[in-house]
Amino acid sequence: MTQQKLTDEPPTHSRQLGIRLSSTRRGARLARQLAVQQFTEWIGLPHDSDPARAVALVMAELASNAMRHGSLPGRDFRLTLLLLDQGFRIEVTDTRPERCPRRPATEPASPDVPSGRGLLLVEAYAERWGWQGRDAYTKTVWAEVARPV
């Protein structure tokens, strides 16, 4: 699993879906449901398969971060799903380019701290993840979940 900031174009894909969602809990929940539904349709696996669960977990974290840390009042986030030859790519574009994700600490957080472990999960379940500033107003955080062999 690797994390990186990319400045080049995303990999080629065979299918793509993009949608704007509200930066609310409801928008984050819809993003998770849509990502799992699209993954299972494109890949042909059931919703309760391990890869579908990985997609749900990664999507939940990226959408939650966009909602909590990447939104401005009245601004939505954009979800883009891509079917790649080697996997399934999730991209979440938000309106706070100055708030870039940091590589998660390798030390576990104190049990008393209620948050701060999400990117550890992304790093564990995604083959690759990173972020990209595309313009002065947005940033895209992305993760790729491996396609089952």
Number of domains in the chain: 1
Kindly report the CATH number assigned to the domain that includes residue 90.
3.30.565.10
pTM for the full model? 0.80
**In terms of residue numbers, what domain contains 20?**
2-6+12-102+117-146
How do residues 53-73 score in pLDDT, each as one tens digit? 999 999 999 998 888 766 667
Contact by Cβ (8 Å): 143, 128: yes
- 110 is a domain residue: no
- 29 is a domain residue: yes
- pLDDT tier for residue 117 given thresholds of 50, 70 and 90: low
pLDDT of 38 reads 96
- Alpha-carbon gap, residue 55 to 131, rounded angstroms: 17
How do residues 118-148 score in pLDDT, each as one tens digit? 788 899 999 999 989 878 888 899 999 998 8
Q: Which residues pair with residue 2 across a beta bridge?
A: 128
Residue type, 127: E
- Alpha-carbon gap, residue 24 to 127, rounded angstroms: 27
Q: Which residues pair with residue 94 across a beta bridge?
A: 139
CB atoms within 10 A of CB 125: 21
H or E stretch at 64: helix 50-69
- 108 is a domain residue: no
Contact by Cβ (8 Å): 59, 36: yes
Q: Which token pair is 132?
A: 């990209």
Distances (CA, A) of 30 to 78, 123, 131: 12, 22, 22
Q: Rounded to the nearest 10 degrees, what angle do helices 50-69 and 118-125 cross at? A: 150
